[in-house]
Structure 1
Amino acid sequence: LTRKDPRWYGAWWIGFLVIGFGLLVTGNFLVLFPRKLPETLRREHKRAVRLAEREQKTGGKRNVEFFSSLAKTKSKEEKPTLRNLLKALKRLFTNKIWVGNLFNTSVYVLGVSGYWNFKPKYLETQFRQSPTTASYYTGLASFVSLVFGTGLGGAVLRWAHPGPRFVTGYNIFITLLTCASYIILSFVGCPRLDVLGPVDGSPPPGCSSECGCSERYSPMCSLDNFTLYYSPCYAGCLTVNTTA
């Protein structure tokens, strides 16, 4: 099969098959995660040590092993309940930093969702690209930027350990930079096409003025890449080359 073979349209399911197989392979690695992360274990051990030291000061005989086993037993006995869920939600929505970040993310997504959805169409109209080429570049750019941005952000947080003030300022800076980029992109594009046909009262080309062309819109590009004919009839064409 060649890349232009029409049978590819019926093979839309191949992509889902490949992605599904990849998820099955990589998803099994989640089983290797421990029940508790090392940081949680260290925190529980420090708490057990503090309780044991406090017990010894008061004349008690319970040691670190006792409090460690008590923490394990408590974690096993805890079961998710509706009351615990409500407490967790209350603690979550009273966190000012989390609520502010949620509000910022919601406003950002609402602002750029239109751009995300119509990005391929934007490349088609502004830069004279085919739908296939526009979708290819938008998908590639989105994937690369997502992987690179997530990896870089995770590496910075892992090794630099920035404080909350720095992270908040960084988020504000990136948001402002994104808004400025959208504004700059609105001024970038190719020159406007000259549409020849029954659009805004423009006269039809002289070669097709007596052809009796219909009002059916079937756009056709010219070889100069600056002229768009309303239909092949308005271009005065007798035959159309669809392979160019």
Structure 2
Amino acid sequence: SPFHTLGCLHTATVIGPFLGFLLASFCAELFVDLGSVDTDDITITTTDARWVGAWWLGILICASLNLLAGIPFWFLPKSLVKEGENSEPEDRSKRSVELLQENYKNEAKQTIHMEQQVFLFTKHHTNSLHDFIPDFIPFLKALFHNPVYMLFICITVLQFSAFNGMISFMPKYMEQQFGKSASDSIFLIGVYNLPVICVGYFFGGLLMKKFKINIYQAANIAFWVSLLEYLLYFAAFWTVCDTAPVAGLTVSYE
């Protein structure tokens, strides 16, 4: 249902980036040479442009967690017993042999079918592009007349253009204009943006389930909401701060 797929599943997928932002904020507060340099000897702070955080620590932690998460899968059997089947060793071995034989036959059939498709494809396209264009143009026209597909493309472009711009430049903007450290900037972006996305996913799935919204209606709603979101991001161009003094650019070297 929309509530489980959109509301619960997509909400859970945002938890990972949220924890990632928190981890990045924590690692950015630590000096890059963690463990080999005495912290008392460090004369710069996290707001200094020369500060380099322990970027490698986040990669090490994530790699370790991925390895630990994969350990339980090593203990799973080669094939799981389906409901209603006998779990005796002999039956499992016999079933495994049958599955291997069936997979071998299927792979042989797929290989023959693929060779036939390659032969037909090569034969069909040896003439010229004139045989391809008459089929391609109607297909492309039908694709552009699909309202759900076109709305999905527009939604994706609007969301990615707004989200990528914020993720790429907002931390550096907060560092330069508000005097925040890289750690504080990453933390604020994660705390103030991702929970709102979780709420949107959850209530979106809940509303789709309650009002029985179909795919076409959901695409329309998503398009107009994304357009409004893009306009709000676009309005940020008029939100300006005082220009920071830069030697040689805004002020003299003297």
TM-score (norm 2): 0.44
TM-score normalized by structure 1?
A: 0.45
Q: For CA contacts below 8 A with separation 6 or more, give which structure has more relative contact order.
A: 2
Higher Rg: 1
